[in-house]
Amino acid sequence: MQTTEIRQVAAELVQLLGPTDWAIGGSFLLQSYGIEAQARDLDLVCTLERFEQFKTLLGRYAQLLPVSLHPIYRSQGFARFDKNGLVIELMAGIQVLKDQGLQAFEFQPEKTSWQQDLPLMQLSDWLELYQLFERPKRVAQLQRYLNEMPHTIKDE
């Protein structure tokens, strides 16, 4: 799917879900900063309180896909959708099973950064998530980018 099509779907999601309690992360976020050449999907993170409402709204917009239990991902809310070949994943209450037990990531909607009328998560939050998800290539890629950025941009 082309970047313009993914951006169009993202813009439609702003209309569908409203401007609060969710943000876009993953490969689309990385592409927005020029870190990744092409987004593969849309990863949405939302508050646990709004998860069921957003899941219902997305279910009217796109086809709900079956999800099987992951060996280590234990998010309190997770749903996957298909919109014309684009996979949209909605996550809330993100938790990962580690040796020490469950480790959680707390989504803070007030940290959302609006760019080109789209709600984007902070890169530092995705660095934390990629570490939690044990994605070493993404961690290294993001750390390189953040280390090269001027300090003022890193701490928005």
Better-scored residue on pLDDT, 46 or 153: 46
Map tokens 């086809």 to a residue.
63
* Rounded Cα gap, residues 104 and 6, in angstroms: 28
Is 156 part of a structural domain of the chain? Answer: no
Is 151 part of a structural domain of the chain? Answer: no
Give tens-digit pLDDT for 7-26: 999 999 999 999 999 999 99
pLDDT bucket at 150, cuts 50 / 70 / 90: low
Three-state SS for 35?
coil
Three-state SS for 113?
strand
Is 153 part of a structural domain of the chain? Answer: no
Is 154 part of a structural domain of the chain? Answer: no
Query: Residue 85: which domain range?
Result: 3-144
Cβ burial of 74 (10 Å; 0-12, 13-18, 19+) is middle
Query: The domain that contains 40 carries what CATH number?
Result: 3.30.460.40
Would you state the pLDDT for residue 155? 46
Domains held by the chain: number: 1
Is 152 part of a structural domain of the chain? Answer: no
Give tens-digit pLDDT for 57-101: 999 999 999 998 887 888 999 999 999 999 999 999 999 998 888
Is 155 part of a structural domain of the chain? Answer: no
Token pair belonging to 57: 């709204």
Nearest to 80 by CA among 26, 41, 122: 41
Is 40 part of a structural domain of the chain? Answer: yes
Strand order in the sheet with 113-115: 63-65, 77-83, 86-92, 42-46, 22-25, 118-120, 113-115
Is 42 part of a structural domain of the chain? Answer: yes
pLDDT at 3 > cutoff 70: no
